[in-house]
């Protein structure tokens, strides 16, 4: 475990964020554990390098001290995700945060069609972020507009999909692995993939497994991190 001096000088901490935790909650858990156990100052620098939605799990990189200056650099590195799309239905949030709003046939979908569509999502693509996102418009986050029932048009953005493979097909579910650039919304990828299949789709499982060379296999949960600090002498 790190010393107070090392934390203040700067560390990169790898956390495996649990389901339904916000990234903010995970940072706060570490912040208070470090302050309590290492007698750190009330205010010390700590922050995460890339938000994970509450319904996603996996790698959350948390930087402390002088290493918070590296957050922008880390955020810019390619990210790897695994997860599940459910075909035949859409939701306003493109995931399980909201209820299904429309159902579609999947009778015409088979493995051959899925593999035929796949290459269209490789390389640089145009992607519209979900209306249920943290992007700000008129000073208000888009998900606040959406939850208030205010319709807002999202503008397309350029993003890059470096790798995209289907790892399991068990309709209506398909599992995937994707490596993408900063700013890619996997929820939007699910939605657009469903449209390309002339059906619908939404994201039901998402796990971030890698950021640059940092792996989730080397991460610990917030609770495990707290236990490690508490047992440190």
pLDDT digits (tens, 9 = 90+) for 14-62: 999 999 999 999 999 999 999 988 888 888 999 999 889 899 999 999 9
Measured from the Cβ of residue 99, the count of other Cβ atoms closer than 10 Å reads 9
Catalytic residue among 16, 53, 95, 192: 53
pLDDT digits (tens, 9 = 90+) for 172-223: 999 999 999 998 999 999 999 999 999 999 999 999 999 999 999 999 999 9
Measured CA distances, 25 to 6, 12, 28, 171, 211 (Å): 23, 17, 5, 35, 20
Residue 114: closest CA among 174, 55, 163:
174
C-beta contacts of 46-51 below 8 A and 24+ residues apart:
47/71, 48/23, 49/74, 49/75, 49/211, 50/74, 50/75, 50/79, 50/182, 50/211, 51/23, 51/134
- pTM score, whole prediction: 0.90
213 catalytic per annotation? no
């Amino acid at each position: 475990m790190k010393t107070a001096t090392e934390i203040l000088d700067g560390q990169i901490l790898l956390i495996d964020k649990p389901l339904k935790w916000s990234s903010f909650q995970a940072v706060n858990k570490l912040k208070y554990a470090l302050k309590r156990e290492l007698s750190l100052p009330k205010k010390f620098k700590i922050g995460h390098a890339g938000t994970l939605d509450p319904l996603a799990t996996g790698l959350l990189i948390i930087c402390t001290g002088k290493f918070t200056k590296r957050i922008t650099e880390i955020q810019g590195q390619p990210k790897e995700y695994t997860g599940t799309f459910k075909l035949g239905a859409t939701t306003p949030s493109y995931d399980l945060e909201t209820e299904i709003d429309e159902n579609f046939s999947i009778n015409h979908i088979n493995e051959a069609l899925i593999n035929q569509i796949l290459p269209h999502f490789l390389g640089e693509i145009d992607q519209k972020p979900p209306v249920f996102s943290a992007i700000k418009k008129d000073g208000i986050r888009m998900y606040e507009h959406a939850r208030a029932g205010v319709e807002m048009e999202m503008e397309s953005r350029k993003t890059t999909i470096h790798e995209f493979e289907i790892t399991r097909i068990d309709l209506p579910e398909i599992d995937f692995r994707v490596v993408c650039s900063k700013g890619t919304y996997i929820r939007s990828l699910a939605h657009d993939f469903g449209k390309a299949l002339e059906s619908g789709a939404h994201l039901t499982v998402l796990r971030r497994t890698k950021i640059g060379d940092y792996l989730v296999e080397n991460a610990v949960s917030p609770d495990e991190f707290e236990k490690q600090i508490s047992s440190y002498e």
